Structure formats: structure tokens, C-alpha cells
């Protein structure tokens, strides 16, 4: 009898433990994330960092599932998918919002940012610029968790180095989208939209005379083999966002919000520090290990570029209205 009773107690204890584990598993929250790059890409690896961090600090109470390489959605589809709740979180280039919210295209407006420090200040979490853009995006139903800095954009040349705006006149120039196209038109060039992976062939074949990309891309894509010089203009910034469905965010407990926010801040601080270092290392590599000439602009030259690019800024302000002008003014305070 005692043996049966002890066995019964043991079974009851085991059942309780199993039930507790089951309830705990059910209580764990899973966040599904769509990203269009693989997890080895710098921005993809940064999301892996977030996943590991939030699962660690929450002791597994929050799980993150990654769907990389556009398994679920292309980058252009992410804003709508997250807004509709079709996926919990997503990676998106900030310019994807510019079609419906022109003011979010600020970071692609040429020569708004004269150096990396101004770029970093404008994109910092406590920046008035950043806060206003985040709030505009939140009204679409997607809340920004963190920004991913992918680095500033430079100008490349095969012939004579690009130093002054007049050097662009009549030249075909690779652009990334409308804001950069407006800039090239303003300085007398001919914008030609070319994808990142198509740059090498385009430069090699002379499809364009002038290139536009970051220093890390020059190194990784070996663009120094087909272009002779790079001018460090830092004239635009590539920013990715990681967004979450706003209603889902509101449903999180205060503790869950704290875990997610803490992990997001760690991810943002890490990639911004790494990106700056990576870009500077690539610049040094280009200068020391390749035949490509690296050109730095003097303050007076930067001022000349800003003046020449002013029409592009005017287009941005015209399309984005009062909010656009307010953001431009805030950026200029950082000079």
C-alpha cells in the first residue's frame, strides 16, 4: 500500500512537472521575423544578434524565428506585411516608406550630411529627426524597433577624379533611387538606376561614367578593378529598419517590451559601431592595397556640393511639405 502511495505521489509530481513545463512552453512568446537577406549579411547577422540577446535576457520566454533570404516577403513587401500582421517583424530599407511618406527619404537626400558624425547624430535614438521619422512610420501600423546603419555613400570615377560639381556635367551616373537621381540631375548628370550586384559589369562596360556606392562595397565587390578613384562625399546614408506590428507591440507586457527594447538597443549600438569601423577599414584598404585613389573633400568643396545639390533638397521639401522642411532644418543644426 505504502509503495503504491509513494508511486502515486511520484507520478503526480512528474505529471505536475510536465504540466508546468507545458504551460511554460505555451506561455513563451514567439516573434516571427522576415528579412530579405541571408543571416551572414551584416544586417542579417545583426538580427541574429538581436535574436540571441532577447532569448538570453528573457530566459527563453521570448523566442525569435527568422525567415531569411526573402522566404516570406521581398523587402518592398515588408511594410505592408508587418502592418497587416501577416508577420510579426521585418527588415526594411527606410526608403521603402518614402513612396507614401516622402519625408522618410531624408537620409537619401544628397549632401544633407557633410560627414559621418552628422549622419550618426541625425540617426541617433534621441535625435528629433529620428523621433519624428519613427512616429510617421508608426502611424502606418509598424513601429520601429531599431535602425541599422549600413554606411554612407560615395562617388566613384573611371576617368578624372570627381572633385567639384562641375565634374559631373553630362556624365551618366549610377543611382540607387529617386532621391539620388534628383541629386544627379541637379548637378548636371544623367541618372541611371543600377542594382548593387550589377555595378561591376556596368562600370566595366562603361554603362555609366560615375559610380555611387559605399567603401565596403568597393572592397567586397572589387570595384577598384574597374574604377580609378573614390571621392569620400558621404552625401547620403543607407539605413535599414527593423519594424514590429504596432498592435502586437501594444499587446506585450511591460517586461516583454523591456526585453525587446534592450536587445534592440544592443543590436543598434553594435551595428552602428561596426559599420563605421568597417567603412573606415575599407577606405584604408582601398588607399593602401589597391590602385584606386581616395579623395577627401575640403570644407569649401563640400559647401560647393551642397550649394549645387540644393535643388534636390528643394524637391524633397516640396514633396514632403512642412515636415520635410522641419527635418532639413533640424539636420542643419547638427553641422
- Of 280, 313, 273, the C-alpha closest to 296 is 280
**Tens digits of per-residue pLDDT, 46-88?**
999 999 999 999 999 999 999 998 899 988 899 999 999 999 9
Residues pairing with 153 in the sheet: 236
Bridge partners of 147, per DSSP, are 241
Collapse the DSSP code of 195 into the 3-class scheme (helix H, G, I; strand E, B; otherwise coil) and give the result. Answer: coil
Q: Is 264 helix (H, G, I), strand (E, B) or coil?
A: helix
Rounded to the nearest angstrom, the gap between the alpha carbon of residue 203 and the centroid of all alpha carbons in its chain is 25
pLDDT per residue as tens digits for the range 297-320? 999 999 999 899 989 889 999 999
Indicate if the pLDDT at residue 196 is higher than 50: yes
Per-residue confidence (pLDDT) for residue 25, from 0 to 100 = 42
State the maximum Cα–Cα separation within the chain, in Å, rounded to a whole number.
Answer: 99
On average, the pLDDT of the chain sits at: 89
Higher-pLDDT residue of 73 and 3 is 73
Interhelix angle for 299-332 vs 116-123, to 10°? 10
* Contact criterion met (CB below 8 Å) for 172 and 194: no
The CATH homologous superfamily for domain 29-332 is Bacterial extracellular solute-binding protein, family 7 (3.40.190.170)
CA distance linking residue 237 with residue 15, whole number of Å: 57
**DSSP three-state, residue 54:** helix
pLDDT at 27: 58
* 254 C-beta neighbours (distance < 10 Å), count: 7
User: Comparing 17-26, 96-105, 263-272, 276-285, which segment has the lowest mean pLDDT?
Assistant: 17-26
Question: What distance in Å separates the CA atoms of residue 73 and residue 69, rounded to the nearest whole number?
Answer: 9
Among 25-29, 173-177, 214-218, 326-330, whose mean pLDDT is lowest? 25-29
Residues 143 and 244 sit within 8 Å (Cβ to Cβ)? yes
Give 227's contacts (C-beta < 8 A, 6+ positions apart): 156, 157, 158, 203, 211, 218, 292
pLDDT at 9 over 60: no
Is residue 237 helix, strand or coil? strand
The band of 101, judged by pLDDT with boundaries at 50, 70 and 90, is very high
DSSP for 94-146, please give it.
Answer: GGGGTTT-GGGGGGGSTTS-SSHHHHHHHHSTT-HHHHHHHHHHHTTTEEEEE
Q: Could you tell me the pTM of the whole model?
A: 0.76
Nearest to 239 by CA among 144, 328, 107: 107
Report the SS3 class of residue 208.
coil
Amino acid at each position: 500500500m505504502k509503495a503504491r502511495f509513494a508511486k502515486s505521489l511520484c507520478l503526480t509530481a512528474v505529471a505536475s512537472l510536465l504540466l508546468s513545463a507545458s504551460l511554460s512552453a505555451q506561455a513563451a512568446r514567439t516573434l516571427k521575423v522576415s528579412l530579405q537577406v541571408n543571416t551572414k549579411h551584416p544586417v542579417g547577422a545583426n538580427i541574429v544578434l538581436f535574436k540571441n540577446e532577447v532569448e538570453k535576457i528573457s530566459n527563453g520566454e521570448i523566442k525569435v524565428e527568422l525567415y531569411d533570404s526573402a522566404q516570406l516577403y521581398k523587402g518592398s513587401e515588408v511594410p505592408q506585411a508587418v502592418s497587416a500582421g501577416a508577420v510579426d517583424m521585418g527588415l526594411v530599407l527606410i526608403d521603402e516608406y518614402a513612396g507614401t511618406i516622402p519625408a522618410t527619404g531624408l537620409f537619401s537626400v544628397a549632401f544633407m550630411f557633410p560627414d559621418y558624425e552628422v549622419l550618426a547624430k541625425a540617426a541617433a535614438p534621441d535625435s528629433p529627426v529620428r523621433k519624428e521619422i519613427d512616429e510617421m512610420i508608426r502611424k502606418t501600423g509598424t513601429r520601429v524597433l531599431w535602425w541599422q546603419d549600413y554606411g554612407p555613400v560615395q562617388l566613384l570615377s573611371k576617368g578624372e577624379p570627381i572633385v567639384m560639381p562641375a565634374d559631373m556635367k553630362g556624365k551618366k551616373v549610377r543611382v540607387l533611387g529617386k532621391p539620388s537621381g534628383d541629386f544627379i540631375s541637379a548637378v548636371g548628370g544623367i541618372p541611371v538606376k543600377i542594382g548593387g550586384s550589377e555595378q561591376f559589369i556596368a562600370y566595366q562596360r562603361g554603362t555609366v561614367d560615375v559610380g555611387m556606392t559605399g567603401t565596403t562595397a568597393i572592397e567586397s565587390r572589387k570595384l577598384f578593378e574597374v574604377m580609378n578613384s573614390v571621392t569620400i562625399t558621404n552625401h547620403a546614408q543607407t539605413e535599414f529598419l527593423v519594424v514590429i506590428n504596432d498592435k502586437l507591440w501594444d499587446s506585450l507586457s511591460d517586461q516583454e517590451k523591456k526585453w525587446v527594447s534592450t536587445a534592440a538597443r544592443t543590436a543598434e549600438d553594435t551595428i552602428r559601431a561596426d559599420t563605421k569601423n568597417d567603412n573606415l577599414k575599407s577606405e584604408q584598404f582601398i588607399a593602401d592595397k589597391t590602385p584606386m585613389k581616395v579623395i577627401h573633400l575640403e570644407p569649401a568643396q563640400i559647401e560647393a556640393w551642397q550649394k549645387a545639390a540644393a535643388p534636390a533638397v528643394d524637391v524633397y521639401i516640396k514633396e514632403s511639405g512642412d515636415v520635410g522642411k522641419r527635418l532639413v532644418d533640424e539636420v542643419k543644426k547638427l553641422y
